[in-house]
Amino acid sequence: MAGMPRRQVLLMVAAIALLVAVLDQASKAWARGGLTPGHEVTIIPGWLWFRVASNSGATLGLGTGNNALFAVVALVIVGAIVMLALRRTVGGVLGIGSLGAVAGGTLGNLVDRLRLGGVTDFIEVRYWPTDFNLADAAIRLGVVLLLLTLLLDWTHRPRRATLGAGRER
């Protein structure tokens, strides 16, 4: 990513973020319009259900009722992602994709917080501790990809010689 022009990196991150946010908002609109509150729709028996709910907190219901705080945190996260993209410090296409996924998921949930006073969740998976949405999935996937990118960058970075290496004793 260091060899790519800043504008190109920023445009790629923005395009991925926009795609994620639009898909997220479309899926939530479908869930709010097509699912009955308090009623589960089984997709894969024993594994996957759709059930619409609103969440004014964070994952696992943490911080419920602090919608404004999480909206501010979302803006800070998006700002940090813009800075990372401008600095071109996260490597390659995988890094660009990870930043775009996190930014898009963050923006998708931010739109809900500002428009609806809470985030629309509707996906329930067996053994997963809480309901979620496409934005949440994109954020989690983006963070995992970002960590993988940083690990790959770190393992492929040339090592500096340690002090005293190569000296005879």
Measure the CA–CA gap between 131 and 118, rounded to whole angstroms.
14
Our answer to whether residue 121 is catalytic in this structure is yes
Q: Please identify which of the residues 24, 112, 131, 136 carries the catalytic annotation.
A: 136
Span 35-52, average pLDDT: 94
Write down the pLDDT at residue 72: 92
**pTM higher than 0.85:** no
Instruction: State the DSSP H helix or E strand holding residue 53, giving kind and residue range, or none if neither.
Output: strand 48-55
The pLDDT tens digits for 46-89 are: 999 999 998 877 766 676 777 888 889 999 999 999 998 888 77
Average pLDDT over all residues of the chain: 87
The pLDDT tens digits for 155-167 are: 776 666 556 555 5
Q: Please identify which of the residues 24, 112, 121, 131 carries the catalytic annotation.
A: 121
Measure the CA–CA gap between 83 and 41, rounded to whole angstroms.
41
Sign of the dihedral through C-alpha 130, 133, 134, 135: negative
Write down the pLDDT at residue 91: 73
Sign of the dihedral through C-alpha 61, 106, 65, 69: positive
Our answer to whether residue 136 is catalytic in this structure is yes
Percent of the chain, pLDDT > 70?
Answer: 88
Every domain of the chain and the residues it spans: 6-153
Q: Please determine, for residue 11, whether its predicted confidence score (pLDDT) is greater than 80.
A: yes
Measure the CA–CA gap between 71 and 107, rounded to whole angstroms.
9
